[in-house]
Amino acid sequence: MGEDGHGGHLGAVYAAGRPEELAAGYDAWAETYEADMARAGYRHPAVCLALLARHLPRGAAPLLDAGCGTGLIGEWLGILGYPEAEGLDLSEGMLRVAAGKGVYRALHRLALGGPLPFADGAYAGIVAAGVFTTGHAGAGALPELARICRPGGVLVLTVKLPLWQEGFAARAAEAGFALVEATAPYLSMPRDPATVPSLAAVFRRSG
C-alpha cells in the first residue's frame, strides 16, 4: 500500500519517489483508470469544472488542463463553452487515452515542477485536478503556472488538505496569484476509506 493506506494503482502512484516512477505507475493504470476512479466516486473533475464555469467567462481561450490524465475534464470543456484546450501530463499512457477522445487541440508530455515550454501569459485559464497531492506536484510548481497564466486569468485546482495547511495559499500569493474562493474540505474519493480530505480553490493571476 502507498503511504496514505491506498492499495493497487493508486497506492503505487502515491508511493512514487521520482517523476519516472510516477509516470510508469500511471502508464500501467491508464486503461482502467476511469473505471477505477468512477467506482471510488471521484469528485475532483466535477468540482473543478463548476468553479471554472463560475470564475472564467464562457469562451475564454486557450485553457490548459495541467495533469489532464485520460481527459476527464477535457471531455466537458467544450460542452461548457471552452472549446480551445490543451492537455499536459507526465504519463504517455494516460495521454494516449486522452488523445483518443479528440477533445484537446494539443497534448504535451511534461511534468509540473520544472520549467514549462510555454510563453508568458499563454493561457486564459489553467485547471489542475488531483495534481497537488501525495507524491505529485507541490507548491513549487506555482511560479511557473503563474508565469504562463494570463494576467486576470484563473487557476482552478484541488489540494490535499495537509498540503494546503502548510501555507499553500501564501506560496500562491508569492507566485502572483490572489485567492478568490476555496471550498470546504471534502473527500475526493468517498468510496475509498483511506482518502484524506482535499479542497478546491480558485486563484486569479495578478497584473
Q: What is the CATH number of the domain that holds 119?
A: 3.40.50.150
Residue 56 in domain: yes
Helix, strand or coil for residue 186? strand
- The answer to whether the CB of 137 falls within 8 A of the CB of 67 is yes
pLDDT at 22: 56
With cut-offs at 50, 70 and 90, classify the pLDDT of residue 9.
very low
Percent of the chain with pLDDT over 90: 73
> Minimal CA–CA distance to 130: which of 189, 50, 54?
189
pLDDT mean over 53-57:
98
Residue 191 burial by Cβ neighbours in a 10 Å radius (0-12, 13-18, 19+):
exposed
| pLDDT tens, position by position, 18-38 | 556 656 665 666 667 788 888
Mean pLDDT of the chain: 88
Query: 2 pLDDT band (50/70/90 cuts)?
Result: very low
Q: What is the pLDDT of residue 4?
A: 40
Would you say residue 7 has pLDDT above 80? no
Kindly report the number of other CB atoms within 10 A of residue 207's CB atom. Answer: 11
Residue 60 lies in a domain: yes
**pLDDT band at residue 103 under the 50/70/90 scheme:** very high
In a domain, 157, yes or no: yes
Within-domain flag for 125: yes
Contact of 169 with 118, CB cutoff 8 Å: no
Owning domain of residue 133: 8-205
pLDDT score at 36: 85
* pLDDT tens digit sequence for 58-77: 999 999 999 999 999 999 99
124 part of a folded domain: yes
pTM, to two decimals: 0.86
Mean pLDDT of 161-173: 96
Rounded to the nearest 10°, the torsion over CA 90, 4, 189, 196 is: -110
Name the domain count of the chain: 1
Judge whether 2 lies within some domain.
no
The grid coordinates of residue 150 equal 494570463
Does a structural domain hold residue 1?
A: no
- The per-residue pLDDT for 3 is 34
Residue 119 has pLDDT above 70, yes or no: yes
pLDDT of 125 strictly over 90: yes
In a domain, 41, yes or no: yes
